[in-house]
């Protein structure tokens, strides 16, 4: 619960200082992770799903939400290839499912991925196949964004007389 609420507090702070002002100014805001991360992660930690959704009801619903989906094996391989040290909470070590960080990571993140799959339907997330190359992914993402944002319709920054 405290984990969930601390993240919500941080999110609220960023929402009000970093997200809402640029939106009001007509800018495009790119958010690396959003409330959906909390929905997936907190539910995996045993927090009530509906409660978390209600908690985040102050969030702005994104115009477009992309979900980069990879199988757990690909995710683990990529992390291991970079020899990163798995973070305690990222590996869900706080849940005590396994004392082995890698095994714990697999179990925890595997469940997180299951939660994400449910969110795709519920919130209409656009799924990007993240197994592919960076270039392929980026091209696909650009087509998705181009559909949402008509570049010609964007307001010029200095549309008011100086």
The binding site for other proteins (CB under 8 A) comprises: 1-2, 4-6, 8-9, 12-13, 16-17, 35, 45-48, 50-51, 53-61, 122-123
The H-or-E segment that residue 63 falls in is none
Return d(Cα 109, Cα 119) in angstroms, integer: 15
Measured from the CB of residue 73, what is the shortest distance to other proteins in angstroms? Answer: 28
Measured from the CB of residue 133, what is the shortest distance to other proteins in angstroms? Answer: 33
Nearer to other proteins, 68 or 123 (CB): 123
Measured from the CB of residue 47, what is the shortest distance to other proteins in angstroms? Answer: 7
Q: CA geometry: angle at 18 spanning 119 and 155, to 5°?
A: 95
First-to-final CA distance of the chain: 50
CB neighbours of residue 53 within 10 Å: 18
Nearer to other proteins, 98 or 137 (CB): 98
């Amino acid at each position: 619960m405290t984990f969930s609420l601390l993240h919500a507090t941080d999110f609220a702070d960023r929402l009000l200082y970093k997200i809402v002002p640029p939106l009001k100014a007509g800018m495009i805001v790119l958010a690396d992770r959003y409330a959906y991360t909390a929905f997936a992660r907190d539910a995996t930690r045993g927090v009530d799903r509906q409660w978390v959704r209600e908690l985040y009801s102050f969030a702005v619903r994104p115009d477009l939400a992309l979900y980069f989906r990879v199988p757990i094996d690909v995710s683990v391989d990529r992390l291991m290839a970079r020899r990163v040290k798995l973070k305690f909470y990222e590996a869900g070590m706080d849940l005590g499912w396994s004392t082995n960080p890698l095994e714990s990571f697999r179990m925890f993140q595997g469940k997180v991925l299951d939660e994400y799959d449910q969110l795709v339907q519920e919130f209409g997330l656009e799924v990007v196949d993240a197994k592919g190359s960076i270039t392929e992914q980026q091209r696909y993402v650009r087509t998705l964004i181009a559909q949402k944002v008509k570049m010609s319709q964007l307001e010029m920054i200095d549309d008011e007389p100086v």
